[in-house]
Chains A and B, each alone.
Chain A
Amino acid sequence: MATTNNLKAAAAEEQAALAFPSPMKEFWQGFSHNRGAVIGLVFMTIVVFCALFAPWVAPYDPIEQYREHMLTPPAWADGGMSQYLLGTDELGRDILSRLIHGARLSLMIGLMSVLMAMIPGVILGLVAAFFPRVVGSLIMRLMDIMMALPSLLLAVAIMAILGPGLINAMIAIAVVALPAYVRLTRASAMSELNRDYVTASRVAGAGTLRLMFVTVLPNCMAPLIVHATMSFSSAILEAAALGFLGLGVQPPTPEWGTMLASARDYIERAWWVVTLPGLTILLSVLAINLMGDGLRDALDPKLKRAA
């Protein structure tokens, strides 16, 4: 198997010598090579579609209570009703609609907290790499301290200060994710700094800012992108955990974790209330992680070996 691929790769390489494939095409070849990654991508495309068009895709309003149909099982189960495909929860809300709207929240929390962690994280990491003596070691010490706190505990502590809510959850998750970005950026920037092209650029008179963002940063992007995917999935997990603990997004907002907060009471009576939101979380996170693996393979073969 591996060698047939090698063969194909070798054949492809020969052609490549004649016509360089565009970076996008090359990337896609690497990515689509990983079957899991493609499955993840397909699943996430569906989730993103649902999130974007939730009001049109979802059959019902996610907070509308149909009291006469409380705890209706999914359509295929005994006692299910075809109009509530995945059944209803304890207040008679349509679970499918809640899951579809929940996708919006989870993706938004994930995206926002990744951005809120990545941008300052990259800047701090670059600063730490360029000024390693005082500022750099100060930053890294601070990050060490933040790393010493278990991430969920830190998020919980921040939520304890800020109080529950959507925005606060994003902030807490972003803060928790920050140190990893700083470390990663610093490490890759440090290794790039010794390269000749940086010296060349420095000799050519590039300023520090230019060196940081134009010369060095683009060459640190591959690991950062891979890490961003992984931190996106852990952000979704953490948001759900905060919601489950009652510290995140508050009911009746249909957040996946929040939906599970009260589910414990229905373990004996309504398996679908317990099973479906968690399954959605699991599948989404799994899909993103699969994509992350594919990205890693596609972006940098060196990273694959390092992991």
Chain B
Amino acid sequence: MSLLDIHNLSVHFGSEKHPFAAVDGLDLTVNQGEIVGIVGESGSGKSVTMMAMMGLLEGQGRILADRLDFDGKNLLTISGRERRRIVGKDIAMIFQDPMTSLNPSYTVGYQIREVLALHQGLRGAALNRRALELMEMVEIPAAKSRLEAYPHQLSGGMSQRVVIAMAIACNPKLLIADEPTTALDVTIQAQIMELLVNLQQSQNMALIMITHDLAVVAEVAHRVAVMYAGQVVETGPVEALFRHPAHPYTEALLASIPEHSKGAERLSTLPGIVPGHYDRPRGCLLSPRCPYVQEVCRADRPALLQHGATAARCHFPLVAKEA
């Protein structure tokens, strides 16, 4: 049984009369101790999916799903109180901008201790010891004095380490890192990424790594899901997907990585733009931009089906053609 099992998840925003789907029939599974990469252009619904799963949308969006199970519990039907016992403890999340993710009014130590006190009931000396230990685990130098620092006194990289410390505080089963390095200096990015992967191994967590950086995904992830306009258009083991993409969108994404595009005669970028919230095509979402588009693509939306090693939402998957 998967740790996280999402089937046909949709998240609608907007008014009742004019809803739009930020996430549209999304399927995703994550197994224990696995690293799953999620890639896709910004606005494709990566963050919204994770927020919906964690219950962070706070009535802003309407969530529908056939299945939304974590660790055998149905996240759709549990009460807010039960959810709060899971969120922050068994599922933790790291956000994109570390500089704004920490509360400016409280010390770093306070914000770490808060999680420990809440979920593990630690008090007094044990609490302090564990907070310090976490700071050391995320390799913050001068950890003891940094516990008393305010967020504005830390650099972006340091802040992100604190956020990570907070996230792993209760040994979560699943850690979600939503573009954890996008807001950081290039030199820091690799360090943070390495830290995350090391922690994933030492803590034996499952890790969902959301990123723009395909190279990172290729390097660290076991499986990948490619998102486009609120849907997973292709998913599968990382090697297979990188070597034989089934979906034209995945292909185009890969082609935009410098080393892949070398000598590639296919289009390195797709023409056109991602469809807007209210002008999604009736058929395949990529149909207006797809170089291989056919009549059926415009009329029918393809389901996510297995094609060779990966599953893709395409009427004419590339693997089949190449085979």
Residues of B1-57 whose CB lies within 8 A of A = 13-15, 17-18
What residue in chain B is nearest A7 (Cβ atoms)? B18
Interface membership of A194, Cβ < 8 A: no
CA distance A10 to B279 in the complex (A): 12
Interface membership of A22, Cβ < 8 A: no
What's the nearest-Cβ distance from chain A to residue B48, in Å? 16
CA distance A2 to B14 in the complex (A): 8
Task: List the B side residues contacting A7 at CB < 8 Å.
Answer: 18, 278
Task: List the B side residues contacting A3 at CB < 8 Å.
Answer: 13-15, 18
CA distance A33 to B15 in the complex (A): 18
CA distance A79 to B18 in the complex (A): 57
Task: List the B side residues contacting A2 at CB < 8 Å.
Answer: 15
What residue in chain B is nearest A2 (Cβ atoms)? B15
CA distance A48 to B15 in the complex (A): 40
CA distance A295 to B217 in the complex (A): 50
What's the nearest-Cβ distance from chain A to residue B279, in Å? 11
Task: List the A side residues contacting B15 at CB < 8 Å.
Answer: 1-4
What's the nearest-Cβ distance from chain A to residue B18, in Å? 6
CA distance A1 to B18 in the complex (A): 10
CA distance A1 to B15 in the complex (A): 6
Residues of A3-20 whose CB lies within 8 A of B = 3-4, 7, 10
Category for how many chain B residues contact A = under 10
Count, A-B residue pairs, CB within 8 A: 12
Per-position binary interface string of chain B over residues 240-279, scored 1 when its CB falls under 8 Å from any chain A CB and 0 otherwise: 0000000000000000000000000000000000000010
What residue in chain B is nearest A10 (Cβ atoms)? B278
What's the nearest-Cβ distance from chain A to residue B62, in Å? 13
CA distance A7 to B18 in the complex (A): 8
CA distance A3 to B15 in the complex (A): 6
Most B C-beta atoms less than 10 A away, residue of A1, A3, A4, A7: A3
What's the nearest-Cβ distance from chain A to residue B301, in Å? 24
Task: List the A side residues contacting B18 at CB < 8 Å.
Answer: 3-4, 7
What's the nearest-Cβ distance from chain B to residue A304, in Å? 20
Per-position binary interface string of chain B over residues 172-202, scored 1 when its CB falls under 8 Å from any chain A CB and 0 otherwise: 0000000000000000000000000000000
Task: List the A side residues contacting B14 at CB < 8 Å.
Answer: 3
CA distance A7 to B16 in the complex (A): 13
CA distance A1 to B14 in the complex (A): 9
What's the nearest-Cβ distance from chain B to residue A187, in Å? 24
CA distance A1 to B278 in the complex (A): 16
What's the nearest-Cβ distance from chain B to residue A134, in Å? 34
CA distance A3 to B18 in the complex (A): 8
Task: List the B side residues contacting A4 at CB < 8 Å.
Answer: 15, 17-18
What residue in chain B is nearest A1 (Cβ atoms)? B15
Task: List the A side residues contacting B278 at CB < 8 Å.
Answer: 7, 10
What's the nearest-Cβ distance from chain B to residue A88, in Å? 54
Task: List the B side residues contacting A1 at CB < 8 Å.
Answer: 15
What's the nearest-Cβ distance from chain A to residue B288, in Å? 18
CA distance A272 to B18 in the complex (A): 51
What's the nearest-Cβ distance from chain B to residue A264, in Å? 48
CA distance A2 to B17 in the complex (A): 11
What's the nearest-Cβ distance from chain A to residue B132, in Å? 41
What's the nearest-Cβ distance from chain A to residue B276, in Å? 9
What residue in chain A is nearest B15 (Cβ atoms)? A3
Residues of B91-119 whose CB lies within 8 A of A = none
CA distance A2 to B13 in the complex (A): 11
CA distance A283 to B35 in the complex (A): 64
CA distance A10 to B18 in the complex (A): 13
CA distance A231 to B314 in the complex (A): 63
What residue in chain A is nearest B14 (Cβ atoms)? A3
Task: List the B side residues contacting A10 at CB < 8 Å.
Answer: 278
CA distance A3 to B278 in the complex (A): 12
What's the nearest-Cβ distance from chain A to residue B281, in Å? 18
What's the nearest-Cβ distance from chain A to residue B211, in Å? 30
CA distance A10 to B277 in the complex (A): 12
CA distance A10 to B14 in the complex (A): 14
CA distance A146 to B201 in the complex (A): 65
What's the nearest-Cβ distance from chain B to residue A6, in Å? 8
What's the nearest-Cβ distance from chain B to residue A9, in Å? 12
What residue in chain B is nearest A11 (Cβ atoms)? B278
What residue in chain A is nearest B17 (Cβ atoms)? A4
CA distance A235 to B13 in the complex (A): 45
What's the nearest-Cβ distance from chain A to residue B196, in Å? 35
What residue in chain B is nearest A5 (Cβ atoms)? B15
CA distance A4 to B14 in the complex (A): 8
What residue in chain B is nearest A4 (Cβ atoms)? B15
What's the nearest-Cβ distance from chain B to residue A4, in Å? 6
CA distance A124 to B167 in the complex (A): 53
What's the nearest-Cβ distance from chain B to residue A124, in Å? 35
CA distance A4 to B278 in the complex (A): 12
What residue in chain A is nearest B278 (Cβ atoms)? A7
What's the nearest-Cβ distance from chain B to residue A171, in Å? 45
CA distance A155 to B196 in the complex (A): 64
For this complex, 12 residue pairs linking A to B, each with C-beta atoms less than 8 Å apart, are A1-B15, A2-B15, A3-B13, A3-B14, A3-B15, A3-B18, A4-B15, A4-B17, A4-B18, A7-B18, A7-B278, A10-B278
Given contacts A1-B15, A4-B18, A7-B278, 9 further A-B contacts (CB under 8 A): A2-B15, A3-B13, A3-B14, A3-B15, A3-B18, A4-B15, A4-B17, A7-B18, A10-B278
Q: Which 5 A-B residue pairs are closest in the complex by CB-CB distance? A: A3-B14, A3-B15, A4-B15, A7-B18, A3-B18
